[in-house]
Amino acid sequence: MGLTSIWVILGLWSVALAAVNEMRYLAINSSATLTCECEDTSCQKIYWYRIRQSDGVYESLMCYTSAEVPHLSDTAMKGRLQGRKGSSKTQYTLTVSNLQREDAGWYSCAIPKHTHFPTYWLRVGEVPPTTLPPPKKTTTRRPKPGRIPSCCSSYRPPEGCGKWVLWPLCGGLMFLTVLLCAVLFYFSRLPKKCRHQFMK
Residue ranges per domain, the chain?
A: 3-124, 162-199
Out of 22-26, 63-67, 101-105, 186-190, pick the least confident.
186-190
* CB contact at 8 A, 68 and 13: no
Sequential DSSP letters for 65-108? ETTS-EEE-S-TTGGGEEEEE-SSTTEEEEEE-S--GGG-EEEE
Out of 38-47, 103-112, 172-181, pick the least confident.
172-181
Confidence of residue 153 (pLDDT cuts 50, 70, 90): very low
3, 144, 166, 184 from 60: Cα distances, Å: 14, 74, 102, 127
Q: Work out whether the CA dihedral 91, 95, 101, 103 comes out positive or negative.
A: negative
Q: Is the pLDDT of residue 5 over 90?
A: no
* CB contact at 8 A, 41 and 90: yes
pLDDT of residue 130: 83
Confidence of residue 121 (pLDDT cuts 50, 70, 90): very high
Identify the CATH homologous superfamily for domain 3-124: Immunoglobulins (2.60.40.10)
Q: Choose among 10, 194, 20, 200: nearest CA to 107.
A: 20
Confidence of residue 105 (pLDDT cuts 50, 70, 90): very high
pLDDT of residue 190: 62
